[in-house]
Amino acid sequence: MSTAHGAEAGQQPATPKERVVIFDTTLRDGEQSPGASMTLDEKVQVAMLLDEMGVDVIEAGFPIASQGDFESVLEIGKHIRNAVVCGLARAGMADIDRAAEALKTARRSRIHTFIGTSPTHRQYQLRMDEDQVYEKVVASVTRARGYTDDVEWSAMDATRTEPDYLCRVVEAAIRHGATTINIPDTVGYTTPDEMTRTIRMLRERVPNADRVIFSVHCHDDLGMAVANSLAGVIGGARQIECTINGLGERAGNAALEEVVMAIRTRSDVFPFTTGVDSRMLMRASKLVSAVTAFPVQYNKAIVGQNAFAHESGIHQDGMLKNAQTFEIMRPEDVGVKETSLVMGKHSGRAAFRSKLEELGYELGDNALNDVFRRFKDLADRKKHIFDDDIVALVEDEVATASEAVKVVSLTVIAGTSGPQKAIITLDLGGQHVTREATGNGPVDAIFNAIKGIIPHNATLSLYQVHAVTGGTDAQAEVSVRLEEDGRKVMARGTDPDTMVASAKAYVSGLNKLVTRRAKAAPTTLKAI
Ligand code: KIV
Ligand code: ZN
């Protein structure tokens, strides 16, 4: 008998469950959502967490799209231990060659090549007839197969493609060596029942369909991406393409955390397993949200702040009697812990190190010393220090440790009668420089003072403040997006003082703009 938390403890399923391959495209389709761009270091950080979490395939980028994408795929390939690293390529030879070149550092690699197959895509985007698209499928899969025996082929806009034609191109892709056939619902148009039938139809009608893995890639325009993905699995797909927090083009892609937890929680309906350690889902969600500054909606399934909160009297009453009354998953299974009180200012270095390990961080001695010093400073100023405070300190330290310019001190004069004034001292590679400036509000004054020290043309296109924990003495986490000459960077700063956090975030953004390798602006790609 199954319980609300899955199979009864110790009870073995009658037959081993089939594995569903989890293909994460946060770094490719996710990064394509406007404003979600990540730096190379951030992409490597996300990729390493995905690998540790047990994701099977990491789509690391679209190497021909820009020099930055190419380098990210190359760099990610060096760091990934277990997952297959995948690079996207259109059906052109140059795309496939570039993807192969970028994947050469990866232990296990996949080339993912695609072309639009629907009448709309053939006629308007590609201006090709059925036979011409068919020829492109043959040529692209053959070319990719020349580089690797792990080739994924996608029929873009598959769910609006005529079934007969879809069978014809899928058959060609299999015959020429594709090992995974991906059926994208590119525009988020299909329904669960339709998706089940499409995958079933392909498996029944296409010769040698049993030799490949069918995959689904669903967008969320009608809010059905996760349901459609799971329906694809019911139809016989064994790979789901998804992203952390459902990040992605327009309304996003199927959310990885929802897919994984639906399979796990409803194993009676979905008798499958994934390789993902669900206890890392919350950490991955927070990391992706932080590096992209895309907030996670409060009531988002699995990883939203309220996903396990019970407010109404009846719910609270039920929860106190038995958690299963209103909870179908245990918070700890997705990595939500009761945010526990951390040791206070008298805690020693060893206890602090073991706390970091419990939170999943292993720092070298120098980094540990720096974070420990900041923890002590914080403990002097803040009454209660929670796990989330420690996480914010570590993330801030890791992100800014190697930056050349740092905030040394800040004084702000703010209030009802302006102009507000800021006096800031920055450390420029060992040299301290101080400036003061006024502005229309304290943040404007701070940014003007910084500009007096580091002249720049960057514009601020996003400024966001988030309280790390509850309470009036909570640390502030400020995220900024700066744009200069077509380049965009995201940066964060954390401090108990919101103005200091703002200054740190802005300075960190400028560091990134100045020191970042000139990443060629992504080209506007034609369909082929
Ligand atoms: O949505 C889509 O069709 C895609 C393909 C490139 C797989 O992202
Ligand atoms: Zn997509």
Centre a 10 Å sphere on the Cβ of residue 139 and count the other Cβ atoms it contains.
16
DSSP-derived secondary structure letter, 361: -
Residue 103's pLDDT is 98
Whether the CB of 242 sits within 6 Å of ligand 1: no
Indicate which ligand has the atom closest to the C-alpha of 216: 1
Whether the CB of 186 sits within 6 Å of ligand 1: yes
Quick one: pLDDT band at residue 6, thresholds 50, 70, 90? very low
CA dihedral 484, 77, 96, 226 (to 10 degrees): -80
The Cβ-side half-sphere exposure at 268, using a 13 Å CA radius, reads: 8
Question: Is 50 exceeded by the pLDDT of residue 112?
Answer: yes
End-to-end CA distance of the chain: 53
* Cα 56 to ligand 1 centre (Å): 18
Q: Which residues of 281-304 are buried (b: 16+ CB within 10 A; e: fewer)?
A: bbbbbbbbbbbbbbebeeebebbe
Q: Are the C-beta atoms of residues 89 and 144 closer than 8 Å to each other?
A: yes
Quick one: pLDDT band at residue 472, thresholds 50, 70, 90? confident
* Cα 186 to ligand 1 centre (Å): 6
What's the distance, CA 526 to chain centroid?
Answer: 25
Residue 379's pLDDT is 86
Residues 6+ apart with CB under 8 A from 417: none
pLDDT tens column, 403-422: 889 999 999 999 998 789 99
Lowest-confidence pick of 56-60, 72-76, 231-235, 364-368 = 364-368
| Substitution site in 27, 31, 114 for ligand 1 pocket (most atoms within 8 Å of beta carbon) | 114
Whether the CB of 29 sits within 6 Å of ligand 1: yes
On average, the pLDDT of the chain sits at 89
* Better-scored residue on pLDDT, 164 or 488: 164
Residue 37's pLDDT is 80
Please give the Cα distance from 154 to 506 (Å, whole number). Answer: 41
Taking the CA atoms of 457, 458, 463 and 467 in sequence, report the sign of the dihedral they define: negative
Residue 307's pLDDT is 86
Q: Are the C-beta atoms of residues 304 and 285 closer than 8 Å to each other?
A: no
Q: Do domains 24-292 and 402-520 have the same CATH topology?
A: no
Of 51, 102, 54, the residue nearest 79 (C-alpha): 51
* Cα 149 to ligand 2 centre (Å): 23
Q: Are the C-beta atoms of residues 521 and 512 closer than 8 Å to each other?
A: no
Centre a 10 Å sphere on the Cβ of residue 345 and count the other Cβ atoms it contains.
13
CATH number, domain 402-520, options 3.30.70.260, 3.40.50.280, 1.10.510.10, 3.30.160.270: 3.30.160.270
The helix/strand/coil state of 353 is helix
Question: Is 90 exceeded by the pLDDT of residue 343?
Answer: no
Q: Which two tokens stand for residue 478?
A: 């400020």
| Substitution site in 217, 242, 249 for ligand 1 pocket (most atoms within 8 Å of beta carbon) | 217
Distances (CA, A) of 388 to 213, 266, 338, 341, 394: 40, 30, 10, 10, 10
* Cα 160 to ligand 1 centre (Å): 13
Question: Is 80 exceeded by the pLDDT of residue 4?
Answer: no
Q: Are the C-beta atoms of residues 240 and 254 closer than 8 Å to each other?
A: yes
Whether the CB of 23 sits within 6 Å of ligand 1: no
Taking the CA atoms of 33, 38, 44 and 45 in sequence, report the sign of the dihedral they define: negative
Q: Which two tokens stand for residue 42?
A: 């951030």
DSSP letter for each residue of 444-466: HHHHHHHHHHS----EEEEEEEE
Question: Is 80 exceeded by the pLDDT of residue 256?
Answer: yes
Please identify, by atom number, the ligand 1 atom nearest to the C-alpha of residue 29.
Answer: 8
The residue whose CA has the least distance to atom 2 of ligand 1 is 186
Of 455, 517, 451, 519, the residue nearest 486 (C-alpha): 519
Q: Give me the amino acid identity at 2.
A: S
pLDDT tens column, 47-60: 999 999 999 999 99
Question: Is 90 exceeded by the pLDDT of residue 170?
Answer: yes
* Cα 28 to ligand 2 centre (Å): 9
Question: Is 50 exceeded by the pLDDT of residue 260?
Answer: yes
Q: Give me the amino acid identity at 277.
A: D
| Substitution site in 23, 26, 29 for ligand 1 pocket (most atoms within 8 Å of beta carbon) | 29
Exposed/middle/buried for residue 376 (C-beta within 10 Å: 0-12, 13-18, 19+): middle
Of 291, 348, 325, 350, the residue nearest 509 (C-alpha): 291
Please identify, by atom number, the ligand 1 atom nearest to the C-alpha of residue 88.
Answer: 6
The residue whose CA has the least distance to atom 5 of ligand 1 is 156
Q: Are the C-beta atoms of residues 80 and 58 closer than 8 Å to each other?
A: yes
Residue 404's pLDDT is 87
Q: Are the C-beta atoms of residues 510 and 405 closer than 8 Å to each other?
A: yes
The helix/strand/coil state of 293 is coil
Residue 516's pLDDT is 55
Please give the Cα distance from 113 to 346 (Å, whole number). Answer: 57
CATH match of 24-292 with 3.20.20.70 = yes
Whether the CB of 154 sits within 6 Å of ligand 1: yes
Residue 478's pLDDT is 92
Could you give the percent of the chain with pLDDT greater than 70?
A: 92
Omega before residue 331 within 30° of 0, cis: no
Domain boundaries, the chain: 24-292, 309-398, 402-520
CA dihedral 183, 185, 190, 193 (to 10 degrees): 30
DSSP-derived secondary structure letter, 121: I
Indicate which ligand has the atom closest to the C-alpha of 180: 1
The residue whose CA has the least distance to atom 8 of ligand 1 is 29
Compute the C-alpha angle 406/409/410, nearest 5°: 115
* Cα 131 to ligand 2 centre (Å): 24
The pair phi, psi for residue 356, each rounded to 5°, is -60, -40
* Better-scored residue on pLDDT, 368 or 314: 368
Quick one: pLDDT band at residue 10, thresholds 50, 70, 90? very low
* Cα 247 to ligand 2 centre (Å): 10
Of 217, 194, 198, 211, the residue nearest 151 (C-alpha): 211
Residues 6+ apart with CB under 8 A from 430: none
Whether the CB of 168 sits within 6 Å of ligand 1: no
Please give the model's pTM, rounded to 2 decimal places.
Answer: 0.81
Residue 54's pLDDT is 98
